[in-house]
Structure 1
Amino acid sequence: MPTNQSIDGTEVAYERHGDGRPVVLLHGGMAPREYWNPVVPHLSEYAAVVPQRPGFGTFLDDSAETSADEVIEREAEYVRTLVDAVDGEPILFGHSFGALTAIEAATEATVEAVVAYEPAVLPKEYRKEADLASRMEELVEEGERREAVKRYVEQVLHPDGIDDLDAWLAEWPVWPDCVELAEEVVRMNYAVEGYQLPERLDVDAPVLVLTGTDGPDFLRKSARAVHDVLPESRLVEFDGVSHSGPSEAPGLVSAEVEAFLGR
């Protein structure tokens, strides 16, 4: 059911599926909110709240000049507003950049729990050399939006290579929508490349950090680093699952989430 609300002057828009404890599903920068379609049926005991995150495609011109803290805080504040809009204390379930946003939002919002699948955090040694955002931005400015997003897919979703990437993308249901979000992916990559994990993340709620063995090694390393700086956290690694874990293996991932929330 589509819902639009104004909370303290901030417009929030989201779809709500089902009844029960609310679970706010926060997609990453690479996919639209339809990313969560395979997951929602597996959360039948909960009310799945799928927001439309703001700002898509509007920050390319100032992305390089906007600090990582400003971009992430802007996203986190929107999530906090959304938390105030739903009934009760929700669970935040984020993927990639959405996972980082969920954790940052929970440092100041009252939530029941946080689930974070491979938060978009770069280890220090990777951050020094990171230039994906600038390379993507150059391609977008040249009108090569599809090629720009392909660079992200190659580096993050299939870092070990894939035999026929174009054929794989042709079969990927959200691919056309991902191309439309090229500017947003650039903006978020600038933020990720500039973000530095603090020595401690002050989240009062319990956090489940998830990762998969078939995703980029640096994201597995980062998942462990995020786990280490949280006061109350559980880390689970899925064998044979990639960075797209929630949509790739929704039953497996959702079962672990439900087990965690039922503790």
Structure 2
Amino acid sequence: MQTIQSESGIDVPYERRGDGPPLILLHGGMAPAEYWTPVVSHLDDFTTIVPRRPGFGTCLADRDEIGAADVLDREVEYVRALVDAVDDEPILVGHSYGALTAIEAATDAVASAVVAYEPAILPDDYRRDADLADRMQSLLEAGKRREAVKRYVEQVLHPDGVDDLDAWLAAWPPWPTCVDLAEEVVRMNRAVEQYRLPDRLDVSAPVLVLSGTDGPDFLRESARAVHEAAPHSRFVEFDGVSHAGPAEAPERIAATIRSFLHANSRAVPTPLR
């Protein structure tokens, strides 16, 4: 494990493996950095760089004072620090909130390509009524931490309902450790609720937007909106795959990323083995 420090002094540990074109993989909301491990195993001819998000298993001295408006900016800041630390222009790959971070980082950082799986962006009509952060905060103030995180799981991962949520959670690897991150998830959700997708993203790099037919409808809608807002974009939807696509179908995801990078040769700065 290595560590990089952002401009504002945040220490971000990251795992670096392999030898080849650099891929920076950004994990999402409640997923740990290890979420990318199944995908990484299919990308062994790349250098994969997997950081741990600030506040998610990392030390953040002023964590309690970070507001929603700062959350996304700080994550973009550490991604840009990682970009500056690699020798070649990296490919930014993100899932959910990590996908939103990758897109925002690419508006300023020099990246050769961006891959975004169902970015955590709310369609305008959905965002106007979004109150998940408020409902989670009310539960936290009432001392109901587990219930607060359950509300997140229900709305984001299972918006169409799940027969037995407790059974599902028992089999979900981040549970119950993720309950410790409840405050961070509230801040993250406030940042998502405040974010508005511009009509045109200021991203010059080629963008691959991914989605799954079994994911939440609002995230599938937003994925298509990101595709339409990016000047140089390709959209791929995986049949029978949910919001957890990189974990459910890592070989298919990796193959699609590889195909996209080959089609956009400038996204691969050095020859693949």
The superposition leaves residues 38-85 of structure 1 with CA deviations (integer Å, 9 ceiling, x where unpaired) of 22211111111110221349788556xx454x3322211111011112
Match of 1:133 in 2: 133
- Mapped to 1, the partners of 2:113 and 2:202 lie a distance apart of 13
Alignment of 1:13-92 (within 5 A): 13-56=13-56, 66=67, 68=69, 70-92=70-92
State the superposition RMSD in angstroms.
Answer: 1.9
* Equivalent residue letter for 2:72: I
Secondary structure at 1:143's aligned position in 2? coil
- Matched AA of 2:207: V
Q: Which moved more, 1:140-149 or 1:51-60?
A: 51-60
Match of 1:3 in 2: 2
Aligned to 2:182: 182
Equivalent residue of 2:133, what SS?
helix
Deviations 1:131-168 (A, max 9, x none): 00111111122222221111111111111112111111
**How many angstroms apart in 1 are the aligned matches of 2:242 and 2:98?**
16
Unaligned segments of structure 2, at least 5 residues: 264-273
Residues 52 and 9 (structure 1), Cα distance of their counterparts in 2 relative to 1, 3 Å cut: same
Read off the aligned partner of 2:192 and give its amino acid letter: V
Deviations 1:104-148 (A, max 9, x none): 000001111110000111011111100001111111222222211
- Letter matched to residue 78 of structure 1: Y
- Report the counterpart of residue 154 of structure 1 in structure 2: 154
Aligned to 1:208: 208
Identity, % of aligned pairs?
A: 68
Q: Is contact 2:23–2:90 with CA below 8 Å preserved after alignment?
A: yes
By how many angstroms is 1:211 displaced?
0.7
Contact 1:26 1:98 in 2 (8 A): yes
The structural deviation recorded for 1:242 is 0.8
Q: Deviations over 1:230-257 (max 9, x none)?
A: 1100011111111111112111111111
Q: 1:7 to 1:164 in 2, by over 3 A?
A: closer
Give the AA of the match of 2:211.
Answer: T
Task: Provide the C-alpha distance between the structure 2 equivalents of 1:41 and 1:183, rounded to a whole number of angstroms.
Answer: 32
Distance in 2 (alpha carbons) for counterparts of 1:154 and 1:18: 37
SS at match of 2:23: strand
Give 1:163's aligned residue: 163
Does the 8 Å CA contact 1:60/1:183 hold for their aligned counterparts? no
- TM norm structure 2: 0.89
> What SS does structure 1 have at the residue aligned with 2:38?
coil
Aligned residues of 1:60 and 1:187 also touching (Cα < 8 A)? no
| 1:221-232 alignment runs, 5 A limit | 221-232=221-232
Which amino acid letter does the alignment assign opposite residue 225 of structure 1? Answer: A
Q: Is the CA contact (8 Å cut-off) linking 2:5 and 2:81 kept in structure 1?
A: no
